[in-house]
Chains A and B, each alone.
Chain A
Amino acid sequence: DIQMTQSPSTLSASVGDRVTITCRASQSISSWLAWYQQKPGRAPKLLIYKASSLQSGVPSRFSGSGSGTEFTLTISSLQPDDFATYYCQQYTSYSPYTFGQGTKLEIK
Chain B
Amino acid sequence: EVQLVQSGAEVKKPGESLRISCKGSGYSFTSYWISWVRQMPGKGLEWMGRIDPSDSYTNYSPSFQGHVTISTDKSISTAYLQWSSLKASDTAMYYCARTSTGFDPWGQGTLVTVSS
Binds B, one of A19-27, A68-76, A91-99: A91-99
Q: Contacts A43-B95, A49-B102; is A97 near B107 (CB within 8 Å)?
A: no
Q: Among the listed B44, B60, B104, which residue makes an inter-chain contact with A55, where contact means beta carbons less than 8 Å apart?
A: B104
CA distance A53 to B62 in the complex (A): 29
> Which B residue sits closest to A56, measured CB to CB?
B104
Question: How many chain A residues have a CB neighbour from B under 8 Å?
Answer: 23
* B104 adjacent to A46 (CB under 8 Å): yes
CA distance A53 to B45 in the complex (A): 22
* B102 adjacent to A34 (CB under 8 Å): yes
Q: Among the listed B45, B105, B109, which residue makes an inter-chain contact with A87, where contact means beta carbons less than 8 Å apart?
A: B45
B101 interfacial contact with A, CB 8 Å? yes
Residues of B within 8 A of A87 (CB): 44-45
Q: What's the least CB distance linking A35 to chain B, in Å? A: 8
B46 interfacial contact with A, CB 8 Å? yes
Q: Which applies to chain B's interface (DSSP): helix, strand, loop or mixed?
A: strand
In the complex, which range does the number of interface residues on chain B fall in? Answer: 20 to 34
Q: What's the least CB distance linking A14 to chain B, in Å? A: 25
B35 interfacial contact with A, CB 8 Å? yes
Q: Can you sample 28 A-B contacts with CB below 8 Å?
A: A1-B62, A34-B101, A36-B103, A43-B95, A43-B108, A43-B109, A44-B45, A44-B103, A44-B106, A46-B102, A46-B103, A49-B101, A49-B102, A49-B104, A50-B101, A50-B102, A87-B44, A89-B103, A91-B99, A91-B101, A96-B59, A96-B60, A97-B50, A97-B61, A98-B47, A99-B45, A102-B44, A102-B45
Instruction: Please give the residue numbers on chain B whose beta carbons come within 8 Å of chain A beta carbons, in ascending order.
Output: 35, 44-47, 50, 59-62, 95, 99, 101-109
Given pairs A96-B47, A99-B44, A99-B46, 16 additional interface contacts (CB within 8 A): A44-B103, A44-B106, A48-B102, A50-B102, A53-B101, A87-B44, A87-B45, A91-B99, A91-B102, A96-B59, A96-B60, A97-B61, A99-B45, A101-B44, A102-B44, A102-B45
Instruction: Please give the residue numbers on chain A whose beta carbons come within 8 Å of chain B beta carbons, in ascending order.
Output: 1, 34, 36, 38, 43-46, 48-50, 53, 55, 87, 89, 91, 96-102
